[in-house]
Amino acid sequence: MSEFRIEKDTMGEVRVPAKAYYASQTQRAVENFPISGKPLPKQLIRAMGLVKLACGIANRDLGKLTGTGKNPLNDKQVEAMLASCREVAEGKFDGEFPIDVYQTGSGTSSNMNANEVIANRAIEMLGGDRLAVAKPVHPNDHVNMGQSTNCTFPTAIHVAVATAIAKELIPALSRFGDVLTKKAAAWDKIIKIGRTHLADATPLRLGQEFGGFARQIELSIHRARRALDAVMELPVGGTAVGTGINTHPEFAKRTCAALAKETGLPFVEAANHFEANAQRDGLVECHGQLKTIAVTLFNVSNNIRWLGSGPRCGFYEVQLPDRQPGSSIMPGKVNPVMCESMMQVTAKVMGNDQTISISGAAGGQFQLNIMMPVMGDTTLESISLLAHCTNAFVEFCAEEMEANVEQCEASVEKSLSMCTSLNPYIGYEKAAALAKEAFKSGKTIRQLCEEQNILPADQLKKALDPWSMTEPG
């Protein structure tokens, strides 16, 4: 067999790799966009297969594919086309999607890539020659029936993003939240010093501190669900500009129902197809929630990094697991590498949000946004990075963290902020003077109070009880 075959389209002849399932329009895009060498993410390719499957099911059930239009299919051809869509959705043809992410802004090249692969695979399933010029299952007339890239490509982005959030990100965050909640409960009796402005503050319990982290992750899960809600409306059925030209009146609703059934997610038809075709505000909102989750994960991992600093000259209130040698020159040094990994990931996601914001604001003119491939790729990258780094952090750091009880409790009595609980007894001014004298003399607040008979012994004991300082009262 020759290395190449000749394919024809409305612009003429194109040389296509002989064994490829894709055809001329895909090849033109491959040649036009030698940009990054990075194809669309697999989640998006598979979502395109799902969207084509759902559209095909709707058209089948509405009698459009086997109707009286040009080149109607028979039932066997329809089922072969649907089976081919499902194979793409299952990832069996990921390698047949070579077009660069940085392509035509609507994603038309990738939509035609999907149409060509699905049509040729269906022909092959039927025992035909997928390389023949005549296409009994046609990429435009049949696979793309009732569709435009302008509505199906953003639909595929929404499906891919929603699936990734539901199946990857939310489970990862839930796992992290569970671990932090367990640590908070286990460490609830350990008293330590609080810190505000990185300076000594009043005591709290290590469990309370980690309970705060757990709540941050709980709120992140709520934000992930709001991110999911932001992409539940689907543009499919709007076709070129939102009017729904060349579609059956029930096509959009039926397609969305098929996608909901296939994914288990409550997708619905867009309330307004002109908005849904033209704007990607839902994706901007979705990524805004992802950015907030990234901010939270950065903060939690950085706080844990600080709490684990040491082991001799830092806080070292939490012992982080040793994962790898930390220095090429300092023997025995171990670093908080999992915290650092998460902080880098979350910084990347925060930067990604700028790409999404610019793409949403400046990319949509009139009836179409022309920044969709980069928006889809960037959002899916953010979800994947957040999910993977969270799982890694849980497995290689959070689950194995241990409390350093001795280190936590050692600093409490030495803290000058112990004087805060004296305010109700002696007033702010006198308590502040005690704190300054304690710092200058090197003595503790308790020692000075005892030397100067600031309060009766029983009252002083009650006032300077560290445990009572960790609760209201």
Which residues are identified as catalytic? Answer: 197, 327
What is the domain-level CATH number for residue 98? Answer: 1.10.275.10
Model pLDDT for residues 80-116, shown as the tens digit of each residue? 999 999 999 999 999 999 999 999 999 999 999 999 9
- Are residues 52 and 192 both part of a single domain? no
The reported pTM is 0.96
433 has pLDDT over 70 = yes
- Are residues 242 and 347 both part of a single domain? yes
Identify any residues that bridge with 219 across adjacent strands, giving them in sequence order. Answer: none
Decide which of 359, 378, 407 is a domain's last residue.
Answer: 407
Question: What is the band of 158 on the pLDDT scale with cuts at 50, 70, 90?
Answer: very high
For 71, the token pair is 């080149």
- Are residues 356 and 442 both part of a single domain? no
Average pLDDT score over residue span 151-156: 98
Q: Given this model, what pLDDT does residue 131 score?
A: 82
- Are residues 387 and 427 both part of a single domain? no
Q: Given this model, what pLDDT does residue 1 score?
A: 56
Average pLDDT score over residue span 207-235: 98
- Are residues 252 and 316 both part of a single domain? yes
Of the ranges 71-80, 138-147, 359-368, 383-392, which one carries the lowest mean pLDDT score? 359-368
Other Cβ atoms closer than 10 A to 282: 24
Q: Is 110 left (phi over 0), alpha (psi -120 to 50) or beta?
A: alpha
| CA distances, 336 to each of 295, 303, 387, 408 (Å) | 19, 11, 19, 19
What is the domain-level CATH number for residue 442? Answer: 1.10.40.30
Q: Given this model, what pLDDT does residue 14 score?
A: 95
Question: What is the band of 274 on the pLDDT scale with cuts at 50, 70, 90?
Answer: very high
Q: Given this model, what pLDDT does residue 362 score?
A: 85
Question: What range does the domain containing 429 cover?
Answer: 413-470
Number of domains in the chain: 3
Question: What is the band of 293 on the pLDDT scale with cuts at 50, 70, 90?
Answer: very high
Q: Given this model, what pLDDT does residue 53 score?
A: 98
Identify any residues that bridge with 196 across adjacent strands, giving them in sequence order. Answer: 199
Model pLDDT for residues 338-358, shown as the tens digit of each residue? 999 999 999 999 999 999 999
Question: What is the band of 118 on the pLDDT scale with cuts at 50, 70, 90?
Answer: very high
Decide which of 407, 424, 452 is a domain's last residue.
Answer: 407
Query: How much of the chain exceeds pLDDT 90, in percent?
Result: 95
Q: Given this model, what pLDDT does residue 302 score?
A: 98
- Are residues 252 and 333 both part of a single domain? yes
75 CB-contact burial (10 Å; exposed 0-12 / middle 13-18 / buried 19+): exposed
Model pLDDT for residues 310-328, shown as the tens digit of each residue? 999 999 999 999 999 999 9
The CA dihedral of 113, 356, 47, 35, to the nearest 10 degrees, is 30
Q: Given this model, what pLDDT does residue 304 score?
A: 98
Contacting residues for 452 by C-beta, under 8 A, at least 6 apart: none
- Are residues 122 and 173 both part of a single domain? no
Average pLDDT score over residue span 206-220: 98
Mean pLDDT across the chain, nearest whole number?
96
Average pLDDT score over residue span 391-403: 98
Decide which of 407, 430, 449 is a domain's last residue.
Answer: 407
Of the ranges 10-19, 83-92, 164-173, 342-351, which one carries the lowest mean pLDDT score? 10-19
